[in-house]
Copies of this chain bind each other. A is one copy, B any other.
Amino acid sequence: MDTREDLVPGDTGSWRHYGATTLPKALAAALDAFAERGYDGTSIREVASRAGLSVPGLYHHYPSKQALLVSLTTTVMRELLERSRQALAEAGPTPSEQFDAVVESLLRFHMFRRNQAFVASTEMRSMEPASRAAFVALRDEQQRMLDRIVEEGVAAGEFSTRYPEDASRAVTTMCVAVASWYHPDGPLSPDEIVTRYLAIARCTVGAR
């Protein structure tokens, strides 16, 4: 099952559904290797071996290890953005409803795509300047989506925080951090985590 099957534009709620894997096998292999050994600790040979490809076969699609990292991390960020946009499009008109939708999208993504999120955040230092700038631009777009909602919530009197931009960043941070401890076999189900973190995130922005 790939992203296109999970996430169908216009198919209500499909942003909540995650299949087992969404990546081409070379990127899936790079993801596993980077998550286990880090970018610097991973060789192209190891990625090829994990993907069941020859080294020349891998190079045919990805001319360098850097190309694998860039393709992997931008694919990850684009999926998050696409899901969050769909969640927002389906939400009700109030900032409170929109806040809940985008926060839930962030939470589910960081549970079901936790390895991707971990590699993207820890290997930013390994990206060349242009790639890093492109990645940061996507990440900033996701952050601004929530920033706008929090600002509108404050303007509408639905949120009382005195620091909308900082509170919005703090909420993103707490959702992103779920990737560092969530485990499918853990004591809390994804739905229970969404319930708890939505309650906490609403408090953080001073939802009335």
Complex Cα spacing A197 to B170, Å: 9
Q: Pick from B161, B162, B203: contact of A167, CB below 8 A.
A: B203
**Residue of B at shortest CB range from A123?**
B38
Please report the C-alpha to C-alpha distance between residue A196 and residue B204 in the assembled complex, in whole angstroms. 12
Task: Given A41-B38, A173-B173, decide whether A163 and B199 contact each other with a Cβ distance below 8 A.
Answer: yes
Residue pair A161, B204 in contact (C-beta under 8 Å): no
In angstroms, Cα B165 to Cα A199, docked, is 13
Decide yes or no whether A60 CB sits under 8 A from chain B: no
Bound together, the chains give a CA A38 to CA B37 distance in angstroms of 10
Closest residue of B by beta carbon distance from A159: B203
Roughly how many angstroms separate A177 CA and B167 CA in the complex, as a whole number?
Answer: 13
Residue of B nearest to A205 (CB): B203
Point out which of A161, A166, A174, A200 has the most chain B C-beta atoms below 10 A from its C-beta. Answer: A200
Which residues from B are CB-within-8-Å of A40? 37-38, 40-41
Q: Within A123-160, which residues are at the interface with B (CB < 8 Å)?
A: 125-126
Contact with B along A163-189 (1 / 0, CB 8 A): 100110110011001000000000000
Residues of A within 8 A of B (CB): 35-41, 122, 125-126, 161-163, 166-167, 169-170, 173-174, 177, 196-197, 199-200, 203-206
Q: 4 closest A-B pairs (Cβ-Cβ)? A: A40-B41, A170-B174, A173-B177, A204-B204
27 contacts between A and B (CB under 8 A): A35-B125, A36-B125, A38-B125, A38-B126, A39-B41, A40-B41, A41-B41, A161-B199, A161-B200, A162-B199, A163-B199, A163-B200, A166-B196, A166-B197, A166-B200, A167-B200, A169-B177, A170-B200, A170-B204, A173-B174, A173-B177, A174-B174, A177-B177, A200-B204, A203-B203, A203-B205, A204-B204
